[in-house]
Every structure is written in structure tokens, then in C-alpha cells.
């Protein structure tokens, strides 16, 4: 694959505000589930462990669907489901652990201090966070933020913002690896 599907090569440009700050590395409209799968595999190839990836977008945008695609790319065999009664699900991939956090109900859950959010971000794990707003001050600097918006019933608009120069370079590295 020569670059993520429909990348339209936006190139690094100032993306303005976004939870990760930083640079727009990917933007596509008309992303269907098949393309979401490819974007998930792209992420799976570029992560090395230690990454924090924020997933933003309204209910039903496809944040969990993207986690599922990334987990598949990392050869997670357990089913990926929304963490409904917990804040986090942890899946073992072949190479890395996938921490799947959903902070939608964080403010309703006990004392925030009992949940050491920052401990999920670990060198052998990639940490994916839906509804990250309430945890932003505790999670640390994000490597990527993904913004997903509804478009049609089966397509989405999707943008990826890299939070660091290293994350920008890493995004492009899958291409160099002949992905």
C-alpha cells in the first residue's frame, strides 16, 4: 500500500488546535469500514510501544471500530468491545499490549484518584483513549489524536494529528517500510 488509502498527501501543515496539538499527517473523507481497517493496520505498523493515541468524535463516530482495527493489526485475538462498566479494557497483542480506555463516564466514577490513568501508558503498550477530555491533564502528551466525524451512514471523515516531530516521522515510516 502506498500511503494510507485516500491520504491525498496533505503533508505536514499547521492543523491548529487538536488535543495533540501538532501537525496534520492524514486526512480523508469517505472512509468506509474497509478503509478504516487499513488505517488501523497503518497504526499497528507504526507503533513501537509507549504511544498515547486520543480518539475524538461523537457517539457512534467509529472510535471503538478504529480500536478494533488497530487491535486486529496488532494480532489481538480477544474481541474488542466498548469498556462499558470499566474505564479500560486491556488486550494482549502479539508484539504489544493494547490499552483501550473510554473516559465517557469518568466523572461519574468514584474518586478519580483511584484510577491511575497515567499508568496505562507503558513502553510495551499502545494506549487508545475514547472521550479523552476528562483525562487529558493526567494522561500526558499525546502522540496522535484521531478526529472522526459522521459523513454518511457508512462513511466518515477522519483526520490524524501527530503531537510530536517523532510521531510525524513515525507516521511516514510505514511507507518507507513498504507497507
Ligand X SMILES: Nc1ncnc2c1ncn2[C@@H]1O[C@H](COP(=O)(O)OP(=O)(O)OP(=O)(O)O)[C@@H](O)[C@H]1O
Q: By CB under 6 A, is residue 128 in contact with ligand X? A: no
Q: By CB under 6 A, is residue 155 in contact with ligand X? A: yes
Q: By CB under 6 A, is residue 130 in contact with ligand X? A: yes
Q: By CB under 6 A, is residue 60 in contact with ligand X? A: yes
Exactly one of 3, 82, 92, 149 binds Mg ion (CB under 5 A); that residue is 82
132's contact among Mg ion, ligand X, none, with CB below 5 to 8 A by partner kind, is none
Burial of residue 134, with CB atoms counted within 10 A of its CB: 0-12 exposed, 13-18 middle, 19 or more buried:
middle
Q: By CB under 5 A, is residue 86 in contact with Mg ion? A: no
Q: By CB under 6 A, is residue 141 in contact with ligand X? A: no
Beta carbon nearer to ligand X, 18 or 57: 57
Residue nearest to ligand X (CB): 62
Mapped to the 3 state alphabet, what secondary structure does the chain carry? CCCCCCCCCCCCCECCCCCCCCEEEEEEEEECHHHHHHHHHHHHHHCCCCCEEEEECCCCCCHHHHHHHHHHHCCCCCCCCCCCCCCEEEEECCCCEEEEEECCCHHHCCCHHHCCHHHHCCCCEEEEEECHHHHHHHHCCCCEEEEEEEEECCEEEEEEEECCHHHHHHHHHHHHCCC
* Contact string (CB under 6 A) for ligand X, positions 62-101, x = contact: xxxx----------------x-------------------
Q: Which residues bind Mg ion (CB under 5 A)?
A: 63-64, 82, 130
Q: Which residues bind ligand X (CB under 6 A)?
A: 31-33, 36, 57, 59-65, 82, 130, 154-156
Amino acid at each position: 500500500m502506498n500511503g494510507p488509502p485516500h491520504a491525498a498527501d496533505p503533508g505536514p501543515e499547521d492543523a491548529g488546535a487538536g488535543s495533540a496539538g501538532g501537525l496534520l499527517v492524514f486526512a480523508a473523507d469517505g472512509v468506509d469500514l474497509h478503509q478504516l481497517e487499513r488505517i488501523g493496520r497503518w497504526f499497528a505498523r507504526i507503533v513501537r510501544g509507549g504511544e498515547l493515541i486520543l480518539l475524538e468524535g461523537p457517539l457512534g463516530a467509529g472510535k471503538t471500530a478504529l480500536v478494533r482495527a488497530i487491535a486486529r493489526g496488532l494480532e489481538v485475538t480477544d474481541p474488542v468491545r466498548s469498556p462499558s462498566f470499566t474505564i479500560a479494557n486491556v488486550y494482549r497483542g502479539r508484539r504489544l499490549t493494547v490499552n483501550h480506555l473510554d473516559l465517557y463516564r469518568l466523572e461519574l466514577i468514584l474518586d478519580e484518584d483511584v484510577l491511575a490513568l497515567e499508568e496505562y501508558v507503558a513502553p510495551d503498550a499502545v494506549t487508545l483513549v475514547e472521550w479523552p477530555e476528562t483525562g487529558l491533564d493526567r494522561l500526558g502528551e499525546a502522540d496522535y489524536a484521531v478526529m472522526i466525524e459522521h459523513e454518511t451512514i457508512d462513511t466518515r471523515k477522519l483526520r490524524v494529528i501527530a503531537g510530536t516531530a517523532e510521531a510525524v516521522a513515525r507516521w511516514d515510516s510505514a511507507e518507507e517500510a513498504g507497507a
